[in-house]
A and B are shown apart, each in its own frame.
Chain A
Amino acid sequence: MKQLQVLLLEDQQEEARETVSFLHNHDYKVTHVKSLEEAEIEIENHFFDVIILDIMINGKPEGITFAQQLKSKGISAPFLFLTNIQSKSIFDQAKESKPFSYLLKPYNNLELLFSIELAIETYYEQANTISFTQKNAILSPNFLFIKKGKSVVKVEIDSIHYIEVKDKYCNLICDQDQYQIKLSLTKTKETLAKPEFKQVHRNFLVNLKKIKEIYFEDNLIIMDTNEKIPFSERYKAFFLKGNNTIFR
């Protein structure tokens, strides 16, 4: 379980201090920058899971400028705008850089956390998941975003043991817990591009590293946690061909 890396561009010292300390208390690692230049240096050198941009920096809409720079540099990350003004003209300008969420000042703590969740959800196109209920998660190619208390943390993909399809969604069974993701199996397979995840059944995808035993005759896979996964004929041949190094 890892903290989310947050970049905060905010020129108001007092507000920034409050926000940083609040986010810090909620398991976020925040890098605070006060100007466009600082933000540019930070984004070059570090990876951020979420970027929070105050639109008006030193009287100029530099938040929007920064968002446009991100796009032109090809840096892709969920970002959200902080703004004082709920007026269309500024919003229309901001909208052009396609932010993943807005947060209107003055905002309370719940709103801040909620907006971060919304930004992540929108970015990975899995709306109303972690912001909706605790059991939901967001799947990304490298991490799984989950709720821990009121905050969002990320989990390595490797912690997933197997994935079970339930109706429209998928259940992820992980080391400690299990989560639901709002993705179809096809989408899930697309997102999980790693070779250790193999489909063994119409409804199951397993992490090869978490398998304890396989009973071909019994069409059964026993996971490390002793859970039994069905192994269908259809995927057996395919499975063997692709994994003969392990099961010689």
Chain B
Amino acid sequence: MINKIFIKTLFIFFLTINKVLSQVPPETDIQRLYKKGERICTTKTKKTLCKAFSFYLKKDFDSCYVYSNKAFAEVSSREEQDVLNYIQGVSAIKKKFLKKALQNFHAISNSPDFKNLKNLKLGQLHLMMENYDEAISYYLKWEDSSLSTNKVLKKNGYHNLGLSYLHKKDYKNAKKYFDKELKLVNDTDTLEIITNKMELANVYYNQYLDETAIPLFVEAYQLAKSFSNIELKQNTSKNLAVVEKNRENFKESVDYYIEYNKWKDSIWNADKIWELTERDKQLAIARKQQEIALQNEKLKRQNIQRKGLVIGASGLLIFIGFLGYFYKKLIKKNKLIITQREELEIANKTKDYLFSVVSHDLRSPINTLKKVHNKLMVQIENEDMLGMQNTANTAIEITEDTFHLLNNVLHWSLEQNNQLLFEQGTYPLQQLVEQTLINFEGIIETKEITLLSELDNEILVNVDKESLKIILRNLFDNAIKYTEEKGTITVKTGIVANNQCYIEIADTGIGIPEERLLKINALRDITIDKIDRSKGVGLGLLLCQTLIKKNKGSLLIESELNKGTKIKVLLPWVSA
């Protein structure tokens, strides 16, 4: 019994349908399939499907399998799908991808065109997968409508059905179908004969008809030996090995086993490979998906990075802009501070100067004035009329001087604070000179100075009249102060070229030493801090310089020691 069961497992072998397919009888299922394939290729533009089909016809099952896989993406109709499933299923069987093939054939519709082919193939597959009951049921379904199946397929169908029954130990049915097959077998077809003989031998052997069975086994083995089919060689040698072992001819048995193993090694477990590749594929897909996810993640991160970069860059730019703005502001502020400091320094020096003026130049004359008035009191008591007159004159003189100084200080400080009213207008020059000169009438008379005035009465000058009066007052004051008694002062006005007129004040006074004159001339841009009162450049001259400049004029000083000084003020002239 053990042997019988063992044998049962051995009787699986595979039919090579491809050889048979080329012999096409008219109007069979297979032919219909071909026609459909051709029609699809001629009428439609399913290139991949066509390619797969053409590979199928060429029996290039590897390519057919690959292309049909791709072709699934472009099929639309049920019919196309069926054709594709069929050719891929066949290719899968060839490649021993049994499970895949099962999927394909199950996917085929039950239309009359495909029903037989589908049942046949499913029967074959289940047989290959050792599901004999199912194999039998599919084959029986097929047999019911086997009229349209071509001879070769029919033969194969009967063979496989017989084989299934054999495995199920239903020997009666097995024999019946093997006989049906044998009727269809062509004598020249070695493969068919070997297979058939082997199956028949099995049937007999299992019924313990050893005498009939063994010669058939040997015959099959001998035939297989000279045939190229490896599976056949393997099966026949294995059958014989089992048979010899059962006959207790162990040496022969071992020889047959060795041969069997030799053939077996050369066969791959293709189905396993298909599963592995399928798993590999799934793994690859999973890996690909993971990669895609990773890539997406990467892209996202890059996007975020880019956004961050852009935001960062713009932020930086804005920051730099702000920085620049504040820096500019700071510089402006600093500049302002510096100018303010300079202004403050000048103001401070002005203040210092004014303090010194007040403390020295004002204090002493006021003190003198007090003494003079005391003297006056005494003289009044003594009724000394002449003395009183002299003292009063002294008092007036001191007061005049001090008043003049005060005026200068006032104007200077107003000018420094930009508070001095300055409005240029057109005025008759002669009148302005006369208006200033009139203030000195008293002292000129007292000092018995001869005043010669040669004033042009047709000159109009463009000045701020109050500042011109301040200038003239200072110049007259100096001229009178430095002129000895009974000296001469000449005042002249006139026109020079370049739209300028002049006022010239010449005295016969002590003159200015050359050294000091140089100093005065050098100090054109004189400022308060450059004033050295001990050297005689006083506030009066400084004020003159400043105001003349402001009036767009200029000051010229000529002097000869002990002979006199000539001062010329040039001012803008307006023709009448």
Contact = CB atoms under 8 A, between A and B. Distances in A.
Interface of A: 86-89, 91, 104, 108-111, 114, 127-128, 131-133
Contacts of A111: 435
Contacts of B438: 108-110
A86 B431 contact: no
B419 A88 contact: yes
A92 to B, nearest CB: 9
A91 B421 contact: yes
B261 interface: no
B301 to A, nearest CB: 70
B420 A108 contact: no
A86 B412 CA distance: 12
B344 interface: no
Contacts of A104: 466
Contact of B576 (A110, A114, A131, A132): A132
A131 B421 contact: no
Contact of A110 (B426, B431, B466): B431
A91 B421 CA distance: 7
A134 to B, nearest CB: 9
Contacts of B421: 86-88, 91
B204 interface: no
Contact of B428 (A86, A88, A89, A132): A132
A128 B428 contact: yes
Contacts, number: 45
B575 to A, nearest CB: 11
A91 B419 CA distance: 10
26 contacts: A86-B414, A86-B421, A87-B414, A87-B419, A88-B418, A88-B419, A88-B420, A89-B419, A108-B438, A108-B439, A109-B438, A110-B431, A110-B434, A110-B438, A111-B435, A114-B431, A114-B435, A128-B426, A128-B427, A128-B460, A131-B427, A132-B431, A132-B457, A132-B576, A133-B428, A133-B458
Given A89-B419, A128-B426, A131-B428, A108 B466 contact: no
B383 to A, nearest CB: 28
A153 B311 CA distance: 85
Contacts of B411: 86
The 7 A-B residue pairs whose C-beta atoms are closest, nearest first, are A110-B435, A132-B428, A88-B419, A91-B421, A111-B435, A87-B419, A110-B438
Interface string B431-448: 100110011000000000
A133 B458 CA distance: 8
Contacts of A110: 431, 434-435, 438
Contact of A133 (B414, B420, B434, B457): B457
A216 to B, nearest CB: 40
Interface residues of B, number: 20
A104 B421 CA distance: 11
B472 to A, nearest CB: 13
A108 B420 CA distance: 21
A114 B434 CA distance: 11
Contact of A86 (B420, B427, B458, B576): B420
B547 to A, nearest CB: 13
A109 B439 CA distance: 10
Contacts of A89: 419
Interface string B511-553: 0000000000000000000000000000000000000000000
Contact of B426 (A88, A108, A114, A127): A127
B439 to A, nearest CB: 6
A5 B318 CA distance: 74
A106 B414 CA distance: 17
A88 B420 CA distance: 6
A114 to B, nearest CB: 6
Contacts of B410: 86
Nearest to A83: B421
Nearest to A112: B435
Given A86-B411, A86-B421, A87-B421, 7 more contacts: A87-B414, A87-B420, A88-B419, A127-B426, A128-B426, A128-B428, A132-B576
B420 A128 contact: no
A61 B439 CA distance: 29
Nearest to A90: B421
A114 B410 CA distance: 24
A167 to B, nearest CB: 12
A174 to B, nearest CB: 22
Contacts of B420: 86-88
B414 to A, nearest CB: 6
Contacts of B418: 88
A114 B435 CA distance: 9
A18 to B, nearest CB: 15
